[in-house]
């Protein structure tokens, strides 16, 4: 049982202290959903292996009363399996499958485009000690110079809002993807907007986007968990004239 009702979470943060990783963001929400306090250990991109005693080079990682759990999907399942008496993140196996579908769809639709629109901001906002690693790894993975990838984003950003229509339409019919209360699918979706807000020096969504209500409500959950001062506004993308 979690000691003092808190679970240790190794966080992945920018220089501002704001979480960047969408996988960490969703676990922050998941822990609060289960009623736990967060015992956060803030880190940048480098030194994760040393920090986790060689267990992982990726975050999130949690330690629950001495038990280490690695990988956001495994952590969510662990929390439900270990604490079934607390609010569930998933309602059965079908809900896990649908959550993965929603997460993958949004990832491809939004982050798939946004990553190259914000990759230089992502680098610049990371901790100075992480700059060399972030540049080398992201240029290798994404296949280009950060400056060149981000260049011309004003033309690419307007393509994302229309592609979010399936989510927008659904959220006209339901308050949360979990129904009348949020579940892990909501945290996966919100975590992608939180990732974006952590790095977006120019906004990705229009001011009058109906998604704003859902996103704001999500960021306000658990005492404003998503409202870190390092976050940038997501709204204000100019409309094509």
Ligand X SMILES: N[C@@H](CCC(=O)N[C@@H](CS)C(=O)NCC(=O)O)C(=O)O
Residues that bind ligand X in the complex, under the rule CB under 6 A: 12, 21-23, 45, 58-60, 71-73, 137
**Could you tell me the smallest distance in angstroms from the CB atom of residue 96 to ligand X?**
13
Q: Please, which residue, 21 or 150, has the CB nearer to ligand X? A: 21
Q: Please, which residue, 135 or 212, has the CB nearer to ligand X? A: 135
Can you count the helices (H) and strands (E) in the chain?
Answer: 12, 4
Phi, psi (degrees; rounded to nearest 5) at 113: -90, -45
**Could you tell me the smallest distance in angstroms from the CB atom of residue 195 to ligand X?**
8
**Could you tell me the smallest distance in angstroms from the CB atom of residue 44 to ligand X?**
9
User: Hey, what long-range contacts does 233-236 have (CB within 8 A, 24 or more apart)?
Assistant: 233/197, 233/203, 234/193, 234/196, 234/197, 234/200, 234/203, 234/204, 234/205, 235/203, 235/205, 235/206, 235/207, 235/209, 236/203, 236/206, 236/207
Q: Please, which residue, 188 or 237, has the CB nearer to ligand X? A: 188
Q: Please, which residue, 34 or 209, has the CB nearer to ligand X? A: 34
The backbone region for 174, taken as left when phi is positive above 0, alpha when psi lies in -120 to 50, beta otherwise, is beta
**Could you tell me the smallest distance in angstroms from the CB atom of residue 33 to ligand X?**
17
Q: Please, which residue, 20 or 160, has the CB nearer to ligand X? A: 20
**Could you tell me the smallest distance in angstroms from the CB atom of residue 211 to ligand X?**
22
CA distance linking residue 191 with residue 23, whole number of Å: 7
Which H or E element spans position 239?
Answer: none
């Amino acid at each position: 049982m979690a000691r003092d009702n808190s679970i240790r979470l190794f966080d992945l943060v920018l220089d501002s202290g704001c979480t960047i990783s969408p996988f960490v963001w969703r676990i922050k929400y998941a822990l609060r959903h289960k009623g736990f306090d967060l015992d956060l250990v803030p880190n940048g991109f480098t030194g994760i292996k040393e920090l986790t005693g060689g267990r992982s080079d990726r975050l999130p990682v949690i330690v629950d009363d001495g038990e280490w759990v690695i990988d956001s999907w495994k952590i969510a399942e662990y929390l439900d399996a270990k604490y079934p008496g607390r609010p569930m993140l998933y309602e059965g196996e079908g809900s896990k499958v649908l959550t993965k579908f929603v997460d993958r769809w949004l990832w491809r639709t939004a982050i798939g485009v946004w990553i190259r629109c914000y990759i230089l901001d992502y680098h610049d906002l990371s901790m100075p000690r992480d700059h060399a690693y972030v540049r080398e790894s992201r240029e290798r993975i994404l296949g280009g110079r950060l400056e060149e990838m981000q260049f011309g984003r004003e033309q690419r950003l307007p393509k994302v809002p229309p592609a979010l229509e399936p989510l927008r339409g659904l959220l006209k019919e339901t308050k949360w993807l979990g129904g009348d209360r949020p579940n892990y699918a909501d945290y996966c979706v919100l975590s992608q907007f939180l990732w974006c807000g952590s790095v977006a020096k120019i906004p990705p969504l229009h001011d009058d986007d109906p998604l704003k209500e859902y996103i704001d409500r999500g960021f306000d959950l658990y005492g404003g968990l998503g409202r870190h001062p390092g976050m940038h506004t997501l709204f204000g993308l100019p409309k094509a004239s």
